[in-house]
Structure 1
Amino acid sequence: MRYAQGGGLTDAERTMRERLRLQAVERFESGQKNAEVAAALRISVRSVERWRRACREGGEAGVLSKGSPGRPRLNEVQVARLERELERGPLAHGWTDQRWTLARIKTLIGRLFHVSYTVEGTWRLLKRHGWSWQQPTRRAI
């Protein structure tokens, strides 16, 4: 399924879609054909074929929602630990100077929590938790 603005399903839409798949599984078990299931649930035959294959390969669990496709997020305990580690400074984590960059913080998150963020995602995480972008001013020699 393609989405016009690059978006996906909301949690409510995902739940509704999952209910449809579970209804389709009940109909598969009662012996209905793909076209009958598609007509009854008002969905495409192609989707029914995909769901039947997933049901055949993984049972009812094969058609359940996999959840949001978004990036894994750090929980509050992990964010608190990240903030403590950031306060320790880059030197404590093996960098040669005292500047935190988004790339370094991204690397630190990967090392500490085994979670991959993009540089932009790292910035959004920090901004969401009250961190701001700062650049030190250079002193004239």
Structure 2
Amino acid sequence: MRKEDTEEFEVRRRMGMRMLARGASQAEVVRALGVTRQTASRWAKTLAEDSGSWRARMRGHPSRLSEQQLRRLDRLVRGREPQEHGFAQYRWSVALIHDLIEREFGVRYESIPNVLRILREMGLFPRNGWGVSMIRRAWRRLESDGKPVPW
């Protein structure tokens, strides 16, 4: 998620939790802020557990790649082939971009799904097809077969 998106969502989260604290229904929050019912429900549950939680700081870890590094990654991958960067493969894969990130930026992601999330946010990887659950299943299958995991 880009920093701007995270900040916008944080503003909506605070507004939604304030609305709920003042007695608005979850449906009103959904309509007013354009969030899902599940999101409004999660906010209401959080608010019920801790009435001051709408003041909480932003959640989640900050991105390990800066905006400048993400732009550079986009230039390295989009419209280019892996061979241009010394890889033997003919098509980009999440695992290959995982290796490229480590080599170019010195940042090692322990989880392939994290790299997949970054690529999807950048528009470099399709949202349908190989989702995180499919990658996890493939990972478990490779580990259970005793074969080395390719990333």
TM-score by length of 1: 0.43
TM-score by length of 2: 0.40
